[in-house]
């Protein structure tokens, strides 16, 4: 990976202007190319370099919770160019206080608010992992970003983490004047499991008629926890264009396949069915009335196909939906802020979506 800041910024600029848009299956779809390569069916050069260093093991592995948690995240960079203040807060709830961090641009104006829920398979991830992405998002969106340290499984199975996230949404709404945010511009965002929690909060918001959330940004979200086939979704490797580095790319894609049903065991622990819409939003019977949605996927991510299916579902039910796919990258690319230009562009697209799709 290049550490040349000028090269990195040039690639970020290329992605900013590379926004070919078309309507596919009723969804506004933007496909972002690899910024410095026009070779189809291959990994981004930075991803390839990373994969060659961190080659997954071929043999079966015994799941170890502590090791899995420790392996999450990436030493990303702070790429902000303006002052973003950080404040640690505690959000009260009926289930106990919820730690959070707030990131605020240096302004006295009333801002939109974005609640961000980190990824980590519902059992891992930390506020530290997403600190730099949240700071950049606050800068690009000119918004207060509240990063929520929700409870994790297996110590706190479903719906504990989701309840924390929704309690945080309610807190921002009720404290809007004190926080100097516009209570009519509250968004939710999250990556991977955090994307699941974000859209599940939207379902809860609609169900209780509060309508606090005005926009949702889901970055390679989990929306079908068991990869269960539906009328519009069935996972198959054939849907991935692989023309180079075949074995490596297949390994990258399959890395998130949950053949052992681990997430069900760790996260649900028998407290809900895999098809519960708050567990697997793809199984919601009706998503009419949910807030505008931006769904971001990675070309070589096991979760890509379910993210695309969820985009189609939202669009069919009249939800304003935009789908952006980044070519050549894999799951968790957002964590590589400062190394992968797609990470920075992804945050800019969330900021754009907040401004454009809520008009």
Among the listed residues 198, 55, 209, 174, the one whose alpha carbon sits nearest the alpha carbon of residue 114: 198
Instruction: Give me the catalytic one of 192, 227, 259, 280.
Output: 192
* Cα gap 206→78, rounded to integer Å: 35
In total, the chain counts a number of residues equal to 359
CA distances (Å), origin 276, targets 52, 272, 311? 38, 7, 18
With beta carbons less than 8 A apart as the criterion, state whether 220 and 297 touch.
Answer: yes
* Cα gap 43→37, rounded to integer Å: 10
Report strand pairing: 98-105 vs 84-91.
antiparallel
What is the DSSP secondary structure assignment for residue 233, as one 8-state letter? B
Backbone phi, psi, residue 283, to 5°? -95, 5
Contacts of 55 (CB under 8 A, 6+ apart): 248, 251
Residues 64-91 as b/e (b if ≥16 CB within 10 A, e otherwise) read eeeebbeebbbebbebbeeebeeeeeeb
* Cα gap 346→326, rounded to integer Å: 9
* Cα gap 292→211, rounded to integer Å: 12
Active-site annotation holds for 192: yes
| H or E segment to which residue 314 belongs | helix 304-316
| H or E segment to which residue 338 belongs | none
Q: What is the largest CA-CA distance in the chain?
A: 55
* Cα gap 351→136, rounded to integer Å: 10
With beta carbons less than 8 A apart as the criterion, state whether 165 and 193 touch.
Answer: no
With beta carbons less than 8 A apart as the criterion, state whether 192 and 123 touch.
Answer: no
Residues classed as catalytic:
192
């Amino acid at each position: 990976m290049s550490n040349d800041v000028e090269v990195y910024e040039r690639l970020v600029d290329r992605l900013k202007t590379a926004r070919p848009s078309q309507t596919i299956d009723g969804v506004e779809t933007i496909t972002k190319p690899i910024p410095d390569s026009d070779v189809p069916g291959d990994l981004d050069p930075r991803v390839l370099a990373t994969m060659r260093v961190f080659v997954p093991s071929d043999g079966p592995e015994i799941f170890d919770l502590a090791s899995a948690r420790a392996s999450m995240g990436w030493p990303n960079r702070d790429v902000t160019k303006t002052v973003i203040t950080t404040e640690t807060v505690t959000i009260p709830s009926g289930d106990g206080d919820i730690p959070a961090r707030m990131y605020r641009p240096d302004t006295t104006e009333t801002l939109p608010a974005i609640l961000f829920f980190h990824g980590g398979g519902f059992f891992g991830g930390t506020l530290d992992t997403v600190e730099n992405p949240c700071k950049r998002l606050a800068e690009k969106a000119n918004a207060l970003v509240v990063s929520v340290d929700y409870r994790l499984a297996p110590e706190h199975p479903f719906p504990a983490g989701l309840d924390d996230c929704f309690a945080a949404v309610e807190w921002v709404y009720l404290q809007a004047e004190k926080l100097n945010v516009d209570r009519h511009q509250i968004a939710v965002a999250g990556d991977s499991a955090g994307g699941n929690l974000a859209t599940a909060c939207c379902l809860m918001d609609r169900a209780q008629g509060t309508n606090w959330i005005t926009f949702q940004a889901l970055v390679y979200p989990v929306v079908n926890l068991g990869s269960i086939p539906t009328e519009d979704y069935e996972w198959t490797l054939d849907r991935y264009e692989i023309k180079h580095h075949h074995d490596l790319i297949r390994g990258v894609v399959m890395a998130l396949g949950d053949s052992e049903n681990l997430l069900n065991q760790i996260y649900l622990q028998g407290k809900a069915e895999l098809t519960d819409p708050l567990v697997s939003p793809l199984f919601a019977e009706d998503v009419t009335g949910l807030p505008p949605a931006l769904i971001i996927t990675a070309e070589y991510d096991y979760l890509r196909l379910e993210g695309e299916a969820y985009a189609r579902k939202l669009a069919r039910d009249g939800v304003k939906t935009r789908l952006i796919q980044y070519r050549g990258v894999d799951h968790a690319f957002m964590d590589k802020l400062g190394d992968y230009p797609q990470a920075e562009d992804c945050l800019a697209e969330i900021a754009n979506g907040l401004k454009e799709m809520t008009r």
